[in-house]
Chains A and B, each alone.
Chain A
Amino acid sequence: MALLGQYLVGGLATGSLYALVALGIVLLYRSSRVLNFAHGDLATFATFVAFTLLTTFRLPFTMATAGSLAVAAVAGAAFYLLILRPTRDATLLGIIVITLGLALVVNGAVVQIWGTETKVFPFPLSDTKVYHLGGVVISQVSIGSFLAGLVLMGLLYLLVQRTRIGLAMRAVSQNLVAAQALGIPAKKIFALTWGLATALGACAGILLAPVTFLDPFMMVDPFLKGFAAAVLGGIDSMPGAVLGGLVLGVAESLFGGYVSVKFKTTMAFLIIIGVLIVRPEGMLGREYKRRV
């Protein structure tokens, strides 16, 4: 029983980070139908920026994080304004190729600036300090990143569902022509969405850094998992992204614990295939129904 609890807690902690990555992907897909394959690399870049601010500039953790998020937001918005907007008449496939290209460029820049050797990210919470909760052992960093993930999801929910900017974001994503006819500045809203999604990715990167350590390819696996979680939950649904992330994290953890660590990712993808056979639009997605 304690073992099951242990796997569940571990799975939820990892899953909340998958969910954060998935949210960034879903946020962009919902608003502009763009699948951003540079999401992981932009997050890696932002995490390295935080690393430099922490180590070279010796800023406190909160300020380094704020700086990193600001850089990420500006980079995301700039990518939209300078590259995606001029090419907005390209096909979806063409735009995907552009984001793949950006992923390579950003990755190259990270390798060039910070090198390929693995670095330790000075995270304020400890990986070795653990708490015992009713037989379940949980590290300080796991609790911290899980809570941070929850808070971020809550803030994003409030922003999108309860504010005027969120209303404008939903309007632009549901019907661009109508939104513009009401005077909603679509260009600004898209730039803002890109900034927000990229900053969200940066949060995921910073929360992952103490676990995965810092190297230019640290986000490859989390990005693929986040992407899978987004598809699992329904690529146009934000609650779906959270659910998909958590389900994926728990499934991996349980399979890794009880059956085989080597094939835990394989298992996760088998679950995705199963869900997509039963619900092609994903667990909470709506897109498929609308097309019929």
Chain B
Amino acid sequence: MGTSVLLNIEGLSIAFGGVVALSNVDLDVSSGALISIIGPNGAGKTTLFNCICGLYHADSGMIRFSGASLAGLKPDAIARRGIARTFQNIELFLRMTVLENLLLGRHLHFRAGFAAASLGAPHWRREEIRHREVAEQILDFLDLQAVRDRRVGDLSLGRQRMVELGRALATEPALLLLDEPSSGMTAEEKEDLVFRIRDIRDEMNATIILVEHDLKLVMGISDWIAVLDHGVKIAQGSPEQIQMHPDVIKAYLGEPTEGGADARTRGTAT
């Protein structure tokens, strides 16, 4: 193994009132990988993200990040370890501007204290300038300069997804979890998204886990793919292997493709 394991999940299980959402899931993601998790609606993909981020606490199993267990940590503590995410249903600060949303992504990198900030101390000013520079770079990178001072609530859904991605990037994460980033995007926007996700991995050195319904996008971009069905990991492998895998075809690809795949992107997974 040339690269180290960044995220290590072992035997993860969680049930909600008797309904098993994840059952004995193992996953190892090495540093710098770009992988996808696919599966039908309700397969447990978002639940897995919520477990990694500390929104849910697993009934059993273990999640290690950079070798350290995340068990019992609050979502904000996990974020400070270097895990950022976007949400399937977009969780933005709708009454704030695009720039303010990005600056909130810088929050955990602020070092200067409140007193220094209120007095406008020099080291605070330097820090503030540096954070603004990072935010500016992200605005350029995601083509958001034109809307930087607009209220996020007034933007289109596609733009909002970009702001949410930008805010996650502003935290300079080691691991980035993207939950259906292409949902609600036009074909053109999706193409842009593919380039941007690759750039994020290559230029910002982030490890990326993608939950995505658009199989064309997933097959084109992923190093490898894991498939969940009813909370169980039924397959893992290269895009080619996954496309051929009989269990996957049965569980997921067996449904009518093309039109069917598009229809599914509008669905809401649980």
Contact = CB atoms under 8 A, between A and B. Distances in A.
Contacts, number: 76
B10 interface: no
A44 to B, nearest CB: 29
Interface residues of A, number: 21
Nearest to A177: B91
Given A184-B104, A286-B95, 15 more contacts: A163-B117, A163-B118, A165-B114, A167-B104, A171-B107, A175-B91, A175-B92, A175-B94, A179-B93, A181-B53, A181-B75, A181-B84, A181-B87, A181-B91, A183-B107
Contacts of A103: none
Interface string B71-82: 000111101100
Contact of A184 (B76, B84, B117): B76
30 contacts: A163-B117, A163-B118, A164-B107, A164-B110, A167-B100, A167-B103, A168-B104, A170-B95, A171-B93, A171-B96, A171-B104, A174-B93, A174-B95, A175-B91, A175-B92, A178-B91, A178-B93, A179-B76, A181-B75, A181-B76, A181-B79, A181-B85, A181-B87, A182-B84, A182-B107, A182-B167, A183-B76, A183-B107, A183-B108, A183-B171
Contacts of A286: 95
B92 A186 contact: no
Contacts of A178: 87, 91-93
A179 B85 CA distance: 11
Interface of A: 163-165, 167-168, 170-171, 174-175, 177-187, 286
Nearest to A167: B104
B80 A183 contact: yes
Interface of B: 53, 55, 74-77, 79-80, 84-85, 87, 91-96, 100, 103-105, 107-108, 110, 114, 117-118, 167, 171
Contacts of B171: 182-183
Contact of B114 (A163, A170, A185): A163
Name the residue in B79, B80, B94, B110 with the highest tally of chain A Cβ atoms < 10 Å from its Cβ. B79
A59 B199 CA distance: 63
B107 A168 contact: yes
A180 B75 contact: yes
A184 B107 CA distance: 7
A174 B92 CA distance: 8
Interface of A is mostly: helix
A182 B93 CA distance: 12
A166 to B, nearest CB: 10
A216 to B, nearest CB: 35
Contact of A174 (B77, B94, B114): B94
B80 to A, nearest CB: 4
Nearest to B82: A183
A179 B107 CA distance: 10
A186 B78 CA distance: 13
A108 B75 CA distance: 39
A181 B78 CA distance: 8
A158 to B, nearest CB: 8
Contacts of A168: 104, 107
A19 B55 CA distance: 38
Name the residue in B75, B77, B96, B117 with the highest tally of chain A Cβ atoms < 10 Å from its Cβ. B75
Contacts of A171: 93, 96, 104, 107
Given A164-B117, A167-B100, A177 B107 contact: no
Given A163-B118, A164-B110, A179-B104, A174 B96 contact: yes
Contacts of B84: 181-182
Contacts of B95: 170, 174, 286
Contacts of A182: 76, 79, 84, 104-105, 107-108, 167, 171
A259 B190 CA distance: 68
A165 B104 CA distance: 11
Nearest to A178: B91
Nearest to B128: A164
Contacts of B96: 170-171, 174
A239 to B, nearest CB: 13
Contacts of B53: 181
Given A165-B114, A184-B107, A170 B93 contact: yes
A174 B94 CA distance: 8
Contacts of A181: 53, 75-76, 79, 84-85, 87, 91
Given A164-B107, A167-B103, A178-B87, A186 B76 contact: yes
A217 B92 CA distance: 43
Contacts of B91: 175, 177-178, 181
A183 B167 CA distance: 12
Contacts of B114: 163-165
A168 B118 CA distance: 15
Given A171-B93, A184-B104, A177 B117 contact: no
B86 to A, nearest CB: 9
Contacts of A177: 55, 75, 87, 91
